[in-house]
Amino acid sequence: MTISIDLIKELRESTGAGVLACREALEESDGNLEKAVAFLHERGLVAAAKKADRETHDGVLDLYNHGDGRVGVIVEVNCETDFVARTEEFKHFAHEMALQIAANSPRWIRAEDIPQEVIEEERQNTRAWALESGKPENVIDRIVEGQLEKFFNDSCLLRQIYIRDDSKTVDELLKEMIVATGENITIRRFVRWTVGEELE
């Protein structure tokens, strides 16, 4: 089938993908826009995964303060080259991560970063709560695992829902950036402070 320029333009505007990628996606999906978006998304995840082992030594720090200086965030986002680090898109992404951290207070970047003793404590607390609530023994394990998933989703930056678009996670947004820049991108570290909070 012949793919119209207008259709390619529409897909390009909605996804930010290149013209050739849009044409290929539309050809693969017989001109169906929804299927073409899914095709590009799938391909993007594969492309992002292939770049995951590449070193990221460049990047930026983004500093953000919120509520007249009541909350402050510093986040370091890394990429492979100075060229990408200087682009407005990359700086914007780093700033979005600072906003995300300020708004949603993650404690870690990914679930693998959580100390095992913290996970175990969360598991034991949920089990104790479920037993005290009189939940049947045969569903307690499922309740504990469900609560742990919720804990990971709330506490880990990459698993949080993106504050500007609740249809995607921060991890999905990161993968979109990797595809858009053609480089591996990592969120290396962050610190979030609130005025008057207890020091650890």
3-state class (DSSP) for residue 76: strand
Q: Is the pTM of this model over 0.95?
A: no
pLDDT computed for residue 50 by the predictor: 63
Kindly give, in sequence order, each residue whose CB lies less than 8 Å from that of residue 91, ignoring residues fewer than 6 positions away.
Answer: 60, 62
pLDDT computed for residue 162 by the predictor: 96
- Asked if residue 119 lies in contact with residue 152, where contact means CB atoms within 8 angstroms, the answer is no
pLDDT computed for residue 185 by the predictor: 93
Architecture of the domain whose range is 58-110+156-194:
2-Layer Sandwich (3.30)
- Asked if residue 119 lies in contact with residue 110, where contact means CB atoms within 8 angstroms, the answer is no
CATH assignment of 115-154?
Answer: 1.10.286
pLDDT computed for residue 22 by the predictor: 81
pLDDT computed for residue 36 by the predictor: 87
Sorted by where each begins, the domain ranges of the chain are 5-51, 58-110+156-194, 115-154
List residues bridging with 59 in a β-sheet.
78
Report the alpha-carbon distance of residue 149 to residue 140 in Å, rounded: 14
**What phi and psi values does residue 169 have, to the nearest 5 degrees?**
-90, 170
Residues 92, 153, 101, 79, Cα dihedral to 10°: -40
Nearest CA among 4, 151, 184, 152 for reference residue 79: 184
Angstrom CA distances, 200 to 193, 197, stand at: 12, 9
- In one-letter notation, the amino acid at residue 127 is R
pLDDT computed for residue 16 by the predictor: 62
pLDDT computed for residue 154 by the predictor: 96
pLDDT computed for residue 10 by the predictor: 86
CATH superfamily of 5-51: Ubiquitin-associated (UBA) domain (1.10.8.10)
Q: Which tokens belong to 98?
A: 């600072």
Residues of the chain with pLDDT under 50: none
Q: 151-196: per-residue pLDDT in tens? A: 999 999 999 999 999 988 999 999 889 888 888 899 999 999 998 8
